[in-house]
Amino acid sequence: MPKGTVVFDAERCKGCGLCIEACPKKVLAFSGQLNKSGYDVAHMAHPDACIGCAFCAMTCPDIVIEVYRESTS
Amino acid sequence: MSAKLENMVKVFERPQSLTNAKSTYCPGCHHGILTRIIGDVMDELDIADRVVGIAPVGCSVFAYLWYKADSQQVPHGRACAVATGIKRARPELIVFSYQGDGDFASIGTAESIHAANRGENITVIFVNNQIYGMTGGEMAPTTLVDQKTTTSPEGRDPSVAGYPIRFSEMIATLDAPVYVTRQALFDTKHIMETKKAIKKAFQNQVDGKGYSLVEVLSTCPTNWRMSPVKSNKHVAETVTKVFPLGDLVDRG
Amino acid sequence: MGERLLLRGNEVIAEAAIRAGCQCYFAYPITPQAELLEHMAVNMPRLGRTFIQAESEIAAVSMVYGAAGAGVRTMTSSSSPGISLKQEGISYLAGANLPCVIVNVVRGGPGLGNIAPSQCDYFQATKGGGHGDYHLIVLGPSTVPEAGELTMLAFELADKYRIPVMILADGLLGQMMEPVELPDPVDPASLQPKEWATTGAKDRAPNIILSFEMDPEGLRQINDDLQDKYRTITEHEIRYEETETGDADIVIAAYGTIGRICKSVVRMARAEGIKVGLFRPITLWPFPYEPLKTLSKRVDTILSVEMSTGQMWEDVRLAVAERAKTPFFGETGGIVPTPRSILNEVKKHVR
């Protein structure tokens, strides 16, 4: 059970790759799917490794990513 | 996506103080990160309903589209003088200017220096990406020696064009400013530190302490002709050697 | 009514601005309007209002932009070269529909020129000066008391139409002293709030002060709206004064200080049996084309007199066309023509 997960607003993604670089767990990759603007959208290639640290979301210039994490209670 | 969202809480989303407008910035441009940080700070300090943002001329000319706050779009270089006018007219407002290299450090040199020297109780954010983005990649006062731009096609030659200007250091020599710092956004650690700096710069204004300047080393992947990831590396390894990071003044 | 004071033109403009409720004043020193700054430097802080000596005329007009956008009454003043510096800011103010007052105490030009009086900035004030299709309301006072009245009017018109208003004075008017009775002050707090201003977006949608529209159709609409506004102002706000034009054979067209001097010329001419009248525009924009056109149908000659090489003269010719003769008499260099020299010129055109 991964500790976290992320949701992409694909139409806002510009395929810049900063999230992929920022992820400490190598969860993300380009999906090969182009959005309406023609960008190769990032996605979770290894969802089980996600720890919900939000490093990807913090570096995303387009606020594409929402991050969820296991509640500790 | 296989995780069960029911067991999870949302820990990161779009700041409330930002609109839903789709960003006009290039892929990987740091303007977007900085805009989100400012929105976050507005949320945390709960100030959006008394903020007036100033949109300069440059890539961030559309800055008035991003914030759920009043804005003024102003002539090139004059943001610090306009900020002065707004703040003196209505001191209860939280006024911030947001400017690039040309706006703040070239055409706006006099206004940038004198607002700082008067100690205007404003927050100034200076986005330094060593190039002029919107107009297609010309040399900026902050362009590095030997850096190729459309108006220094053979690389910046100091004998013709001088050296990159360290504006924050100049502002730091003045008596009035209470906070002058240089930050960057090339990795998560620095993004977090930039947010701390921006929050301090706004808090200083809320507390009536005086003038704060946050210079943020940023990228321009399009005009640097580098990928966003390579651009971040360029800032980390090269740009920070010319523009050192850290606090130059902190009288708060 | 207020007390009777003996004031310099520059001082009366400053005092009138204060009484009109000017909340923020920003300016850079330049001769011949230093006394305006000095009066503001002493009195604005006393009233808890803002006085800033800005780092340049450009910074000053930018501060005006900010304060105007934030919804307060605000003013800057300068003289010719300084007004040249402000032109980009003025275009932005006009394009963003911001109310403010800009005072030009005109001096000899072009370039550094000199510090003596002149009327060589008429084109700059009324035909643009800054870029784009815009206008300012331009008011030309001819006496020190009128300078006070028109300054107070300027703030009213600026707010009424959301437009920058220029007071086009000159170095002679700025320096001379006359007794003046100024009205009671307006309390800035009593002025009607501006719903469009950047006062903080509490419980409302954000207000954005802007003169920028990338979509050509959008910018065309903005320009159409500005032109509608200018048509309304032209319909309702033209001001001029006619002196003894009823039976005149020859009429002098003059404004400002020269307009005042020509009242003496009319008196002197009439004493010699010459039927001379004076047509004195007070709003230089909107220019009183129609009244002047009407006048030109029944007089022989309309002589334009200015301290310039003939700037308002062009608007006079536009109004008059071929209906009457339109000679010109001017002085440059800061030379102020005497009533006698103007009268001699008048006589050249009298049959």
Question: What is the ipTM, given to two decimal places?
Answer: 0.96
**Which residue is associated with the tokens 């767990």?**
A25
**Residue C96 pLDDT:** 98
**Cα–Cα distance, B49 to C202 (Å, whole number):** 5
H or E stretch at C304: strand C301-306
**Residue C2 pLDDT:** 63
Round to the nearest angstrom and report the end-to-end CA distance of chain C: 47
The verdict on whether omega for the bond into residue C185 sits within 30 degrees of 0, i.e. cis, is no
Q: Which of B61, B71, B81 sits opposite C54 (nearest CB)?
A: B81
Nearest chain A residue to B34 by CA distance is A61
Which residues of chain B are at the A interface, by a Cβ-Cβ cutoff of 8 Å?
A: 1-5, 7-14, 18, 22-23, 25-33, 36, 185, 187-188, 191-192, 221, 227-229, 232
Sheet harboring C250-253: ordered strands across?
C240-243, C276-281, C250-253, C301-306, C328-330
**Residue A71 pLDDT:** 83
Q: For C45-73, what is each residue's pLDDT tens digit? A: 999 999 999 999 999 999 999 999 999 99
Q: Is B249 on the interface with C (CB under 8 A)?
A: no
The larger pLDDT score, comparing residue B6 to residue C29, is at C29
Cβ pair B28:A16 closer than 8 A: yes
Confidence of residue C1 (pLDDT cuts 50, 70, 90): low
Cβ pair B32:A63 closer than 8 A: yes
Report whether B216 contacts B127 (CB < 8 A): yes
CA angle B51, B99, C195 (to 5 degrees): 35
How long a stretch of residues is chain B? Answer: 252
- The domain locations on chain C are 4-200+225-235, 241-348
Superfamily of domain B26-250: Thiamin diphosphate (ThDP)-binding fold, Pyr/PP domains (3.40.50.970)
B52: chain C residues, CB-CB within 8 Å:
70, 198, 200
**Residue B4 pLDDT:** 61
Going by DSSP bridges, is the β-strand pair B70-73/C24-27 parallel, antiparallel, or unpaired?
Answer: unpaired
Is the pLDDT at C125 greater than 70? The verdict is: yes
Stated pTM of the model: 0.96
CB-count burial class (<10 Å; 0-12, 13-18, 19+) for C335: middle
Q: For A59-72, what is each residue's pLDDT tens digit? A: 999 999 999 999 87
Confidence of residue C351 (pLDDT cuts 50, 70, 90): confident
How long a stretch of residues is chain C? Answer: 351
Is the pLDDT at C204 greater than 90? The verdict is: yes
For all residues of chain A together, what is the average pLDDT? 95
- Do the domains spanning C4-200+225-235 and C241-348 agree at the CATH topology level? yes
- % of chain B with per-residue pLDDT over 90: 97
**Residue A73 pLDDT:** 60
Residues of chain B with pLDDT under 50: 1-2
**Residue B138 pLDDT:** 97
Q: Which of B9, B36, B187 sits opposite A63 (nearest CB)?
A: B36
Distance of CA B27 to the CA centre of its chain: 18
**Lowest mean pLDDT: which of C21-30, C113-122, C183-192?**
C183-192
- % of chain C with per-residue pLDDT over 70: 99
- The domain locations on chain B are 26-250
H or E stretch at A27: none
**Amino acid sitting at position A54:** A
Q: Which of C54, C62, C71 sits opposite B74 (nearest CB)?
A: C62
The CATH topology of domain C4-200+225-235 is: Rossmann fold (3.40.50)
Q: Can you tell me the mean pLDDT for A24-37?
A: 97
CA angle B244, B245, B247 (to 5 degrees): 115
**Residue C128 pLDDT:** 87
**Cα–Cα distance, B76 to B59 (Å, whole number):** 12
* CATH value of C241-348 in 3.30.380.10, 3.90.1150.10, 3.40.50.10140, 3.40.50.920: 3.40.50.920
For all residues of chain C together, what is the average pLDDT? 97
**Residue B80 pLDDT:** 98
**Residue B252 pLDDT:** 74
Counted across chains A and B, CB pairs separated by less than 8 A come out at: 101
Any chains having at least 3 CB pairs less than 8 A from chain C are B
C67: chain B residues, CB-CB within 8 Å:
85-86, 88-89
The tokens for C215 are: 């979509």
Domains detected in chain A: 4-69 (3.30.70.20)
Beta bridge partners of residue B98, listed in sequence order: B125
What contacts C205, CB < 8 A, 6 or more positions away? none
CA distance B78 to chain C (A): 6
CA distance B55 to chain A (A): 18
CB-count burial class (<10 Å; 0-12, 13-18, 19+) for C195: exposed
Is the pLDDT at C197 greater than 90? The verdict is: yes
Any chains having at least 3 CB pairs less than 8 A from chain B are A, C
**Residue A1 pLDDT:** 64
Q: Which of B110, B47, B246, B145 is nearest to C56 (CA)?
A: B110
Cβ pair A61:B23 closer than 8 A: yes
Q: For C273-296, what is each residue's pLDDT tens digit? A: 999 999 999 999 999 999 999 999
Number of H helices, E strands in chain B: 10, 8
Nearest chain A residue to B31 by CA distance is A61
What contacts B53, CB < 8 A, 6 or more positions away? B63, B64, B67, B69, B70, B71, B72, B96, B98
Report whether C257 contacts C170 (CB < 8 A): yes
Q: Which of A22, A60, A69 sits opposite B11 (nearest CB)?
A: A69
- % of chain B with per-residue pLDDT over 70: 98
HEC per residue, B23-61: CCCCCCCHHHHHHHHHHHHHHHHCCHHHEEEEECCCHHH
Cβ pair A68:B5 closer than 8 A: yes
A70: chain B residues, CB-CB within 8 Å:
7-8
Classify each residue of C197-221 as buried b or exposed e, where b means 16 or more C-beta atoms within 10 Å of its C-beta: bbbbbeeeebbbbbbbeeeeeeeee
Q: Which of C63, C199, C203 sits opposite B85 (nearest CB)?
A: C63
**Residue C183 pLDDT:** 85
Round to the nearest angstrom and report the end-to-end CA distance of chain B: 46
CA distance A69 to chain B (A): 5
**Cα–Cα distance, C275 to C271 (Å, whole number):** 9
Cβ pair C89:B70 closer than 8 A: no
